[in-house]
Amino acid sequence: MTEASDQKNWSATVLTLFPEMFPGPLGLSLAGKALKKGIWQLETVDIRDFARDKHRSVDDAPFGGGPGMVMRPDILAAAVDHVAISSPGRRVIYLSPRGRRLDQALARELADQDAGGGGVTLICGRFEGVDERALEGREIEEVSVGDYVLSGGETAALVMLDAIVRLLPGVIVEGSALDEESFAQGLLEYPQYTRPQVWEGREVPEVLTSGHHENIRAWRLRQAEELTKARRPDLWDLYLRSAKSRG
């Protein structure tokens, strides 16, 4: 297992049965560059290292019957406690379809280096889930990356970490780029265009080549509002309520 260490920068520890799945895509592009620069740290803990038999078993049949297997509370709790020794006060999250939905607000909350211990511990489940007593006994939060079922929590952890890491200071140099992304202002992002100016008979909207920055800003806002209203009425309702409360 990889030992946790005291770090001043934002760090993540992933409890998993498949540590070889990390960093995976997080070792590439923006997240990978930031990882190499030490802007954030990533470590993995193999849950099987806390098994108590020669077969390194971590699961057992569910009480009450039913298909599949359930991760044992004693083994999972031992892994969580191991990380807590070197990372006290850090939020511990179990990736679960029944948890709070991951959104941009939660990603920003978890990226805040002044809160939550400057990092997060993620638990990747397998089988039919984990024993409820482990979640209750260690006050573990549950977060979902969407209303669908994955084979395990590792893929969900990669999604969550990618959403968080790109918000850390120094990962994306152009700070304004974050302000104009989808969900940053509660809206989907406006359409983007680049060269060639005419492609297959389709022209770039004239306003974008006008050089009139205020008109461009207004056009982009209108486009973002129209897209959000048409494609995500749930976000549109939230946006309207937020605008009403501000004004």
Q: Are residues 91 and 207 in the same domain?
A: no
Task: Walk along the chain (247 residues) and give the pLDDT tens digit of each residue.
Answer: 444 444 468 999 999 999 999 999 999 999 999 999 999 999 999 999 999 999 999 999 999 999 999 999 999 999 999 999 999 989 999 999 999 999 999 999 999 977 656 899 999 999 889 999 999 999 999 999 999 999 999 999 999 999 999 999 999 976 556 666 667 788 999 999 999 999 999 999 999 999 999 999 999 999 999 999 999 999 999 999 998 887 6
φ, ψ of residue 47 in degrees (nearest 5): -60, -30
* Residue 99 belongs to a domain: yes
Residue at a domain's end among 98, 132, 165: 165
Query: What integer pLDDT is reported at residue 244 of this predicted model?
Result: 86
CATH of residue 191's domain is 1.10.1270.20
* Residue 175 belongs to a domain: no
Q: Tell me if the bond preceding 23 is cis, omega within 30° of 0.
A: yes
φ, ψ of residue 198 in degrees (nearest 5): -125, 125
Look at residues 71, 60, 61 and name the one whose alpha carbon lies nearest to residue 133.
71
Each residue of 37-52: pLDDT tens digit?
999 999 999 999 999 9
The CA–CA distances, whole Å, from 219 to 22, 83, 120, 206, 214 equal 41, 49, 39, 11, 9
Longest CA–CA span in the chain (Å) reads 71
129, 70 in Cβ contact below 8 A? yes
CATH of residue 107's domain is 3.40.1280.10
CA 175 from chain center: how many Å? 19
Query: What integer pLDDT is reported at residue 3 of this predicted model?
Result: 43
Number of Cβ atoms within 10 Å of the Cβ of 114: 5
When divided into structural domains, the chain yields a total of 2
Domain with 145 in it: 10-165
Each residue of 143-176: pLDDT tens digit?
999 999 999 999 999 999 999 999 999 999 765 5
HSE (side-chain half, CA atoms, 13 Å) at 34: 25
Q: Are residues 33 and 128 in the same domain?
A: yes
pTM over 0.75: yes
Query: What integer pLDDT is reported at residue 4 of this predicted model?
Result: 43
